[in-house]
A and B are shown apart, each in its own frame.
Chain A
Amino acid sequence: MSKIEAKADVTGSVWKIVAAVGAPLEAGGVIMILESMKMEIPVLAEDGGTLLELTVAEGDAVSEGQVVAVLEG
């Protein structure tokens, strides 16, 4: 088991948190949705895992490459 950081691919804001802390996520599962360039961009748990921590809240501004969640998988 190792910790995996999920990062924002884009600069924008957190529109909606989809997954709850403690929830198991499949590979490709959606953690949250960011809003950027008038698009709703999902942040995915690429390899799946358990969501340990959310480091941002809805409405927060995020920048490209920022860690927005931590998973264990």
Chain B
Amino acid sequence: MSADPTQPGAATASPSAVTALDGQGERDAGLAELGFRRAQAEQLGGEAAVARHHEQGRLTIRERIAGLVDSGSFQEVGKLTGQGRYEGDMLVGVTPAPYVMGLASIGNRPVAIGGEDFTVRGGTSWSGDRKKGGQGGFVEDLAHQYRLPLVNLIDGAGGSVTSINRRGHSVFPGVHGFERSVQLMGEVPVVCAVLGTAAGGPAGRAILSHWSVMVKNTSQVFAAGPPVVERSLGQKVTKEELGGHAIAADVSGTIDNVANDEKHCFELIQRYLSYMPQNVWELPPVVQCDDRVDRCEDALARIVPESRRTPYDMKRLVRMVADRDSVFEIQPSFGKAVITFLARMNGKVVGIVANNPMIYGGAIDVRAARKQTHFVELCDCFHIPLIFFVDVPGFMVGKDAEAAATLREGMRSVYVGLQATVPIYTVVIRKCYGMAGMGTTDKNGLDLKIAWPSAEWGSLPIEGGVAAAFRKDIASAADPRAREREIEADLRSLASPYRTAEAFGVEEIIDPRETRPYLCRFIDAAQGRLQTTLGPKPKFGVRP
């Protein structure tokens, strides 16, 4: 007869089994107790709580970890944590701590991974001798000490005012602080997935990441939820209206990407991590490239329309240049005037920033600027070379744009571009104007700017600048409108990119079809530079 580890009392049950093994009774009882305690941990918040969780279309933390990591790779740490229930000396059950974490592998590379267990007290914080994770804790120490990517599967409500009863005092904000979480941002890739309703600390934790993702309809994120909003402002809103993906990802850009369901979310996390190095002391993995480096797509020669007023599909353009099926878009629904891709060129990871002429002609608005700033910093931090595909008329103009601080946010994107030390390649497809144009080049490095014959550039587009610069000349003409057009035509004839190439003001004009081989050649050659400039990047100064 052996003890059934799932039955309460099993730890001390089965005296016949103990006495049968003469002299080994205590040891066997100890193993039986371990089995019982482990089984209790596997039961999470109990059958009813797990069923309720499933009914909402959500997986448990153990199912999430199993669904995300390489099969069988999860080595849990702290499985026995929780609140034991005893009858006299006899253990009758354990309510697990509402956080599950440990070591696992994704794509055959080790990661530190953890997440709240919503089925135990809604995943609210737990106070043991040592914190497991969430904000700081063992899982973040593991990522820091072993230089491993950290994956946070967030599904918790954070602190609760009820803790004041338990403690007998109110805790000062930051008693479980973000120090380690902040430190990790300069050391290892940090991925946060919001998999339920995250408010307060867990919501803040989600933002302290290099990349974040949420699930359509089953996750929301906000500083404070509907009850607090109603009490504070009298606004009645649902949690989906307040922090669903349509707000948190599409409008505010608080969260980067949106998954259709949890399974899709795990695929996105695996994909994102496949582009990342393990830490800032290593380069991202290079994969075998089965796409020819000298692949020259004829469609590239015709993708830019004859009319300067007609936009084109920049995503299609980028896909034709990068390794086949290698592009992964970051923040696809936010700040759409700029497109940001992780991709590969001849198997090496690159970051691509491309202007999108379909949105305001590619003018950089406050959202696009913020998106570009984050992406450039991400790539610089992890030693990923940047390619800019440029078609930018400048910063967004107008009253709304000024009120939104487009200039400040735009200059911040220029600032981080100039601070970046990874190789930057500039490919001017069409327009490259003004300060926004400046933000696409690497003036402190090789400053390699290549352009297509359709390229044009300057301090500002000619049609915008003539009226101001030649005001008197135009006003005094017999036909001012005709005179304005005449001046525009004169200036445009001087604006040919070939004239700039004569002056070596742009390093090369290429046939659009040659873009892929040209870039691959330089990115291959840059690997030595990248390998010899590894490590953390301290950033000095004050960003505007």
Please indicate the chain A residues that have their CB under 8 angstroms from the CB of B307 in the complex: 40
Which residue of chain A is the closest to B305 with respect to CB atoms? Answer: A40
Alpha-carbon distance between A40 and B357 when the two chains are bound, in angstroms: 10
Q: Quick check: is B363 within 8 A (CB to CB) of the other chain? A: yes
Interface centre among B360, B393, B396, B397 (most CB of A within 10 A): B360
- Interface contact B361-A36, CB-CB below 8 Å: yes
CA A17 to CA B360, docked complex, whole Å? 19
Interface 1/0 per residue, B21-51 and A, CB below 8 Å: 0000000000000000000000000000000
Mask for B394-427, Cβ within 8 A of A = 1, else 0? 0011001000000000000000000000000000
Q: How far is the CB of A41 from chain B (nearest CB, A)?
A: 6
Tell me, in angstroms, the Cα distance from A60 to B251 when the chains sit together: 25
The range of chain A's interface size is 10 to 19
Q: Is the CB of A39 within 8 A of B463?
A: no
B358: chain A residues at CB < 8 Å are 9, 41-42
B371-413 to A contact mask, C-beta < 8 Å, 1/0: 0000000000000000000000100110010000000000000
Tell me if A41 and B463 are in contact (CB < 8 A): no
In the complex the two chains form, is A38's CB within 8 Å of B309's CB? yes
How far does the alpha carbon of A41 sit from the alpha carbon of B357 in the complex, in Å?
Answer: 8
Q: Counting CB contacts under 8 A, is A56 at the interface? A: no
Q: Which residues of A contact B309 (CB under 8 A)?
A: 38-40
| In the complex, B311 has a CB within 8 A of chain A | yes
Q: Tell me, in angstroms, the Cα distance from A40 to B360 when the chains sit together.
A: 9
A38 to B463, CA, bound (A): 10
Q: Among the interface residues A37, A41, A42, which one has the most CB atoms of the partner chain B within 10 A?
A: A37
Total B residues in contact with A, Cβ cutoff 8 Å: 16
B123, chain A: closest CB distance, angstroms: 34
Q: B336 to A39, Cβ gap below 8 A?
A: no
B310 x A37 contact (CB < 8 A): no
B299 sits at the interface (CB 8 A): no
Contacts of A2-60 to chain B: CB distance below 8 A = 9-11, 36-42
Could you tell me the distance in whole angstroms from the C-beta of A26 to the nearest C-beta in chain B? 15
B482 at the interface (CB under 8 A from A): no
Question: Is B463 in contact with A10, judged by CB distance below 8 angstroms?
Answer: no
Q: Establish whether residues A37 and B360, one from each chain, have CB atoms under 8 Å apart when the complex forms.
A: yes
Contacts A9-B336, A37-B393 known; A42 to B311 CB distance under 8 Å?
Answer: yes
CA distance A12 to B310 in the complex (A): 15
For B363, list chain A residues within 8 Å (CB). Answer: 37
| Shortest Cβ gap from A57 to chain B (Å) | 21
A9-B359, A10-B359 known; A41 vs B336 contact (CB < 8 Å): no
Question: Looking across the interface, which residue of chain B has its beta carbon closest to that of A35?
Answer: B309
Q: Which of A11, A38, A42 contacts B361 (CB 8 A)?
A: A38
Smallest CB gap from A44: residue in B: B358
The distance in angstroms between the C-alpha atoms of A37 and B337, with both chains bound, is 12
Nearest chain B CB to A7 CB, angstrom units: 11
- Bound form: Cα–Cα A38–B396 in Å: 12
Most chain A CB within a 10 A radius of its CB, from B359, B393, B396, B463: B359
The residue in chain A whose Cβ has the minimal distance to the Cβ of B360 is A37
A62 CB, min distance to chain B CBs, angstroms:
13
Interface centre among A10, A38, A39, A42 (most CB of B within 10 A): A39
Residue among B357, B358, B397, B463 having the largest count of chain A Cβ atoms under 10 Å: B358
CA distance A40 to B310 in the complex (A): 5
Q: Quick one: which of B329-370 are within 8 Å of A by CB?
A: 336, 357-361, 363
Residues of B within 8 A of A9 (CB): 336, 358-359
A37 touches B361 (CB 8 A): yes
CA A36 to CA B398, docked complex, whole Å: 12
Complex Cα–Cα for A11 and B365 (A): 12
The closest CB in chain A to the CB of B461 belongs to: A38
B361 contacts across to A, CB distance below 8 A: 36-39, 41
Nearest CB on B from A61, distance (A): 13
A36 to chain B, nearest CB (A): 6
Give Cα distance in the complex from A36 to B359, angstroms: 9
A36 proximity list for chain B (CB < 8 A): 360-361
Give CA–CA (A38, B360) in the complex, Å: 9
CA distance A38 to B361 in the complex (A): 8
Contact mask for chain B residues 503-534; partner A; CB cutoff 8 A; 1 contact, 0 none: 00000000000000000000000000000000
Closest to B397 in A: A37
Q: From residue 286 to 334 of chain B, which have CB atoms closer than 8 A to chain A?
A: 307, 309-311
Closest 7 CB pairs of A and B: A39-B361, A37-B361, A37-B360, A40-B309, A10-B360, A37-B363, A39-B309
11 extra interchain contacts, Cβ-Cβ under 8 A, other than A10-B359, A39-B310? Answer: A9-B336, A9-B359, A10-B360, A36-B360, A37-B393, A39-B311, A39-B357, A39-B360, A40-B310, A41-B358, A41-B359
Chain A residues at the B interface, C-beta cutoff of 8 Å = 9-11, 36-42
A-B contact pairs, 16 of them (CB 8 A): A9-B359, A10-B359, A10-B360, A11-B400, A36-B360, A36-B361, A37-B361, A37-B363, A38-B361, A39-B357, A39-B360, A40-B307, A41-B358, A41-B360, A41-B361, A42-B358
Interface residues of B (CB under 8 A from A): 307, 309-311, 336, 357-361, 363, 393, 396-397, 400, 463
